[in-house]
Amino acid sequence: MVLAVIPRILGFAYALVLAPALVLLWRGGQITRRRALPLLVVSALLGFLLFAPMAPYQLQLVVLGDTAALGAPLAVVLGGLAFFFVVSLAGGRTFCGHLCPIGAIQEILSLAGHARLGRTRKRETMAVRFAVLAAVLVAGLAFSVNVLGALGVEDFFFLNVASVSFAVFAALMLLGVAVYRPFCRVICPYGAVLSLAAAKAQYRFRRTDLCIACGKCENACPVDEAKERDRKAECYMCGRCVEVCPVEGALRYARR
């Protein structure tokens, strides 16, 4: 279904504009979990229509040295990947939260279920994901193996429904009904990179003096990142914590 007539770079432009814009919108309180829902739908559709902005797969192609398949000049792709890292340093993983098609599909599917299985397994999931990042680098650089391709990323978005890898990736996405963002939390090599930046993010969801320690945000968070001292490396900016907070102003997206 991917439309070859539409330049893939438009998908990149969409994310390059919105990633920093979302930092500003969260900061100004103009966006909420519900208001961001249309963005998830648009991002998921762009994945199927343009196969962009598909940063995890772009990273895989860069590792493979397959510049012909990038869909944009190498410098633009590298600049884009670095730009999302810098935005994550400034304000967390806005790209993962609402702009990445893979993340958007899983976020939408998480609305269909409770997606709470394994939510306290942050350390374990992050450890596996860094192992996958290492595997992607070694397999790609030393053996020219396309790990994300084998997992079905491309076949899924190109709707190659007869392929085995389509079924593998579709099953991974469907798992997202019960387990919050399984691909993002356990597999995504680019998510592993962005988590390093998000752990140092200037702007993030923080408690203020108005917090009454009711624990509702902690209970609502699907990735165990709403506690006071959590680093927010795994915060997908879903907005659940802010949505359930009973005290206006007790939880703000702000600098320290």
Beta carbons within 10 angstroms of residue 138's beta carbon: 13
Burial 30-62, CB ≥16 within 10 A → b, else e: ebebeebeebbebbbebbbbbbbbbbbbbbbbb
Residue of 50, 238, 245, 250 interacting with ligand SF4 (CB under 6 A): 238
Least distance to ligand SF4 from the beta carbon of 79, Å? 16
Instruction: Enumerate residues 214-233 that contact ligand SF4 by CB under 6 A.
Output: 220-221, 223, 225-226
Shorter beta-carbon distance to ligand SF4: residue 26 or 162:
26
Query: Helices 74-91 and 189-198: crossing angle, nearest 10°?
Result: 40
**Using the rule CB under 6 A, is 183 a contact of ligand SF4?**
yes
Shorter beta-carbon distance to ligand SF4: residue 9 or 237:
237
Whether the CA torsion 79, 81, 84, 86 is positive or negative: it is: negative
Least distance to ligand SF4 from the beta carbon of 5, Å? 25
Token readout for 176 is 């997202």
Backbone dihedral region for residue 206 (phi beyond 0: left; psi -120 to 50: alpha; all else: beta): beta
Contact 26, 253 (CB under 8 A): yes
Shorter beta-carbon distance to ligand SF4: residue 139 or 238:
238
Least distance to ligand SF4 from the beta carbon of 3, Å? 21
Question: Considering CB under 6 A, how many residues would be counted as binding ligand SF4?
Answer: 24
**Using the rule CB under 6 A, is 191 a contact of ligand SF4?**
yes
How many whole angstroms separate alpha carbon 55 and alpha carbon 193?
A: 11
Backbone dihedral region for residue 7 (phi beyond 0: left; psi -120 to 50: alpha; all else: beta): beta
Distances (CA, A) of 161 to 98, 127, 168, 187: 26, 32, 11, 22
Beta carbons within 10 angstroms of residue 159's beta carbon: 12
Residue of 12, 166, 190, 203 interacting with ligand SF4 (CB under 6 A): 190
Shorter beta-carbon distance to ligand SF4: residue 139 or 185:
185
Shorter beta-carbon distance to ligand SF4: residue 32 or 144:
32
Instruction: Enumerate residues 45-104 that contact ligand SF4 by CB under 6 A.
Output: 55-56, 96, 100, 102-103
Residue of 239, 245, 250, 252 interacting with ligand SF4 (CB under 6 A): 239
Shorter beta-carbon distance to ligand SF4: residue 157 or 183:
183
Sites of contact with ligand SF4 (CB under 6 A): 55-56, 96, 100, 102-103, 183-184, 188, 190-191, 205, 220-221, 223, 225-226, 235-241
